[in-house]
Structure 1
Amino acid sequence: MFNASDIFTISSQKQFDKTALKVFRYQHENNAVYREFCDLLQVDKGSVKSLAQIPFLPIQFFKTHQVVSNLNEVQQTFTSSGTTGTNTSRHLVTDVSWYEQSYRAAFTEFYGNIEDYAILALLPSYLEREGSSLIYMVEDLIKMTNNADSGFYLFNHEDLIQKLTALDHDGQNVILIGVTYGLLDLLEKQSFSLNNTIIMETGGMKGRRKEMIREELHKVLCDGFGLSAIHSEYGMTELLSQAYSLGDGIFECPQWMQVLVRDTEDALTYVENGKTGGINVIDLANINSCSFIATQDLGKKYANNTFEVLGRFDHSDIRGCNLMVL
């Protein structure tokens, strides 16, 4: 069994590799769905000696199977937003403290002491439903600021404009975390010239607006908020960790998370750094579910384990890696 200290104290690539292989063996033994997927790929547990040899479970499995690595009672079920007529992902979390430790430690790693900030959240499409892992995280971070000015906003843009303007003017460090279309809606009401505020977009138009490429989107946001850079958060229902971009769309992972980029035509091979492919995520905090997820995102990996997200696959199934999904 793993302790949090095994995961959140990783400090080198060698230590990450060693821990990831231990997690793989643990989940192969204890996660029936993952073990069956490995068996379909004819992967013998004992033959896996490197990260590149570990099978990555297609993310669609969370729509069709219960992906858990123990028999403990489910404490929290996180669900994806989905669209009309589609199944939603269900992430069954048997120990939510792993999630809390992951996002708290990652925030500290990238942004420092949370009590130095007021956090404002503009996440209407997430607030309007139950089961959002993003809302769970942001709600907890808001409480941890111990700042009475931190809080959620739905469609009360005028209140948010007044609060954001006043806090920034008073020299308060602010993080405004918002779904993309929500931030654009806000800028249609008011433009800003901010000096002490970080704008963090979580991606997604949720069908409310036309999709935009990152460069175009970030230029609109930079111009509208009066900033030189826009931060981004990369996370998903099926994971318990997030990567952050502090600008230019280049994401960094916390020490217990990494990405590999697979060939779009052969899901079991990997492309060189700087080449476009499908993003595979290793999230060692996801110990009680599956730590090795083949996402539907396209991206590029660079040196020092940084990466860029370029979009999503055109088709709902990931070619060459959709065994058992149906």
Structure 2
Amino acid sequence: MAGGQERILRGRIRSVQATKKITRAMELIAGSRIVKAQQRVAAAVPYSEKITEVVRDLAAAGAGQGSPLLAGRDTVSTTCYVAIAGDRGLCGGYNAGVQRATEGEIKADVLAGKQYVVVPVGRKVEKYFRFRGYQLSQAFGGFSGAPSLADAKAIGAYVVELFTSGQVDKVELVYTRFVSAGNQEVVLRPLVPLTVETVAGGDGKAGPADAPTGDYEFEPDPSTILDSLLPSYVEARIYAALLNAAASEHASTQRAMKAATDNAEELIKSLSRIMNRARQDSITTEIMEIVGGAEALGSGNVKDPLPRDPQSVVETVHTHGGHASVG
């Protein structure tokens, strides 16, 4: 029985060791991808800041009064939530954070008697809301680990069309902002309409009221420039959100895989101790059986029908698999 238990434990240890190799490899891969994702986030910051500054100055100059992207609705009855998550799992609570945040906003709208629609970006968030029967619009996915500007343009064109056609009255982004490799936070950022407060702070944050503005001369007129820049501004905002989400996903994957590797190491140690204890018990039991058998043969307590000459005793011991010395 002990031998069977030892074989079972050896099999479990081999299985956990194989899993540990996989999680360790995934941890290293995610760690290498974090660096590239951070570089992409940092490279996109100057463009995002500059286009935000230009749009803010154009809006301050009185441009875009008739632009549909700047014209807010008197009554917001339908809100579009662009939920950005991952295409894969094994990343800890990354996907669940975006799902919970979006779900909380939806429940608040339902309680207030308002309508909603979800634009899922990422296969995991799409499956989550589709399985639970939420109202979904067009889904985007397949690029959560390495988004491109073309992906941001496709999402931007779609949500702008939803807003300008009157299907929704407001568009908001729900994604995970990358602060550092050890810190990410789920944020909710307004995207459309582009109010003065939204544009002033960039990335959906309200800027200070006394923020300095530049003195520019625009050619052609500010309204024409703003009309051409607003779609690019929306794309830049979405692209920044996608890059932040990708970096956050890699960071969450690295942490989750490191935790899994550490847990596998602890499980291997625990199983090894149990297996060694079982093997030691098995060896001790075998020794006790051999010693007991030898003592029984030596003391003559066992009735032996065979002749008691020395050669016969030796042959009997060998037949029973034991070892004894004949005096």
TM-score tier by shorter-chain length is under 0.3
Structure holding more strand per residue: 1
Larger Rg: 2
TM-score (norm 1): 0.25
Structure holding more helix per residue: 2
Q: Which has the higher contact order (CA 8 A, sep 6+)?
A: 2
